[in-house]
Amino acid sequence: MPVGSVQCDNTTLNLLKANDYVAKAVRDKIPGICVINICSSPGSGKTTLMQETGKRLGKDLNIAVLVGDPETERDAIRMRDVGINALQIVTGGMCHIEAQMILQALDHIDLTDCDLLFIENVGNLVCPAAFDLGEDYRVTVLASTEGDDKPKKYPRMFLTSELMLVSKADLLPYVPFSVEAAAKDAREVNPNLDVISISSLQDTGMEEWCNWLKAKVAEKKAKYAK
């Protein structure tokens, strides 16, 4: 195993009810930390988003990231290169993260004084939608290069999310993607869904995204303080 990675056992937790039981254990273990589950297709820009978010919020919040991938720890290395506390969850070929993997990983990452824990899920709009990881909020990243029809093709992911980020917004003038059409479809699936267009590289929407995160962290801290 590469240094800085944790190999998770592929235990047989086939029933979602069993997964939900473990997700509760995750919540009980880190009750004061705001947990955000980031989901998307491969190549949507999740890792770059995490890097840029860490750069912008690092002075305001103590951030950690659990990164899920079938193989390699490349994404976690990219996080650590910009000073983010990160641990790679190697799923061994599985196309999603399950709650038991998060529970195992918590024993291998220092979350002392952590305010915000990101779970960067495996790139997939299908399987991750079914698994509660103990998160407070789920965010789905939809890249402008993917096409604006995804919310109706993969409705469960958008139904179970609180926020849709339309990434790579700097490419919108060059690709056949309508933010309005994607948002309309997504809100027909989930009327309460927030939508923000972002470009991690061009800084578009990043302030709004970071303010959304800071508000959620504040809400969690206020709830936990009670």
Q: Where are the domains of the chain?
A: 5-225
What does CATH list as the number for 5-225?
Answer: 3.40.50.300
Residue 110: Cβ-neighbour burial (10 angstroms; 0-12, 13-18, 19+): exposed
In the predicted structure, residue 11 carries a pLDDT above the cut 50: yes
Question: Cα 168 to the chain's mean position, in Å?
Answer: 16
Average pLDDT rounded to a whole number, residues 90-99: 82
d(CA 159, CA 190): 5
Closest to 200 measured CA to CA, from 209, 211, 190: 209
pTM of this prediction? 0.90
Q: Is the pLDDT of residue 190 over 50?
A: yes
For residue range 152-182, list pLDDT tens digits in order: 999 999 999 999 999 999 999 999 999 999 9
pLDDT tens digits, residue range 48-94?
A: 999 999 999 999 999 999 998 876 778 888 889 888 999 999 877 77
Radius of gyration of the chain (CA): 17
Q: How far apart are CA 134 and CA 130, in angstroms?
A: 12
List beta partners, residue 199: 204
The whole-chain average pLDDT of the chain stands at: 91
How many CB atoms are located within 10 Å of the residue 18 CB? 15
Partners of 117 in beta bridges:
35, 64
139 by DSSP, 3-state: which?
strand
Residue 208 CA, chain-centre distance (Å), reads 17
Averaged pLDDT for residues 135-139 = 98
Q: What is the mean predicted confidence (pLDDT) over 124-151?
A: 95
The tokens for 155 are: 């409705």
Contact assessment for residue 45 and residue 121, using Cβ atoms and an 8 Å cutoff: no
Flag whether pLDDT at 200 surpasses 90. Answer: yes
How far is the C-alpha of 142 from the C-alpha of 147, rounded, in Å? Answer: 9
Higher pLDDT, 75 or 20: 20
Of 70 and 118, the one with more pLDDT: 118
CB contact set of 61 (below 8 Å; sequence gap of 6+): 115, 116, 213, 214, 217
pLDDT given for residue 13 in this prediction: 46
